[in-house]
Amino acid sequence: MAQIADRRSRGAFADLFSYYAPRVKSFMLRLGAGDGEAEELAQEVMITVWQKAGLYDRAQASVSTWIFRIARNRRIDAQRRQRRPELSPDDPVLLPPEIQTPDEMIVRGQLDEVVRERLAGLPQDQLILVQAAFYDGLSHSEIARAFNLPLGTVKSRIRLAFSRLKGELEGGV
């Protein structure tokens, strides 16, 4: 390790690599990495050993302990990356909303007003359930429990409300 750190000895690194790379790969396999991932991680570990050889301190750990600590940390990093996948800049969720033209904003406002008017015209038993589902975000089962109604009744009333709204909106807009 001293030859690698002090003189960047390729021969010393080749010896170290041929001894430790297969062992690091085996260690990665035991930690649950697939064969390809274990090979890739072993390569990354050995590159790190080459790059950071000057940081090795024999007073703190043996060479094998130092290398396997690097390996363990690389595996932890790889697992974190798998749990938190890379975000795509093209993901629609991450894109800003399209800017609406003034005409589109007026039409949208008018449609919102019509929908509010039609909602207000629903029978009270249907309106309450629609509001619970869409404004409060409750599931049909949660609504049934909250209003002490059978689940089928909740579903029927919401379906009737939609049918009525759809008919009124298609005919009146």
- Confidence at residue 84, expressed as pLDDT on a 0 to 100 scale: 65
Residues 55 and 71: their CA atoms lie apart, in Å, by 16
In CATH terms, 2-83 corresponds, of 1.10.3720.10, 2.30.40.10, 1.10.1740.10, 3.65.10.10, to 1.10.1740.10
In this predicted model, what pLDDT tens digit does every residue of 112-135 receive, in sequence order? 888 888 888 899 999 999 999 988
pLDDT of amino acid 156? 94
Backbone phi and psi for residue 62, each to the nearest 5 degrees, phi listed first? -75, 165
The whole-number pLDDT of residue 96 equals 78
Looking at residue 86, what is its pLDDT?
Answer: 66
Q: Yes or no: is domain 115-172 CATH 1.10.10.10?
A: yes
Cα torsion angle, 30, 32, 34, 36, sign: negative
Question: What pTM, to 2 d.p., does this model score?
Answer: 0.48
| pLDDT value for 161 | 92
Closest CA to 77 of 129, 103, 41, 47: 41
Q: How many CB atoms lie within 10 A of CB 128?
A: 16
Average of per-residue pLDDT values in the chain: 88
Q: Please state the domain extents for the chain.
A: 2-83, 115-172
Q: Residue 78 and residue 99: Cα distance in Å, rounded?
A: 39
Q: What is the DSSP letter of 52?
A: T
The parts of the chain modelled with pLDDT lower than 50 are none
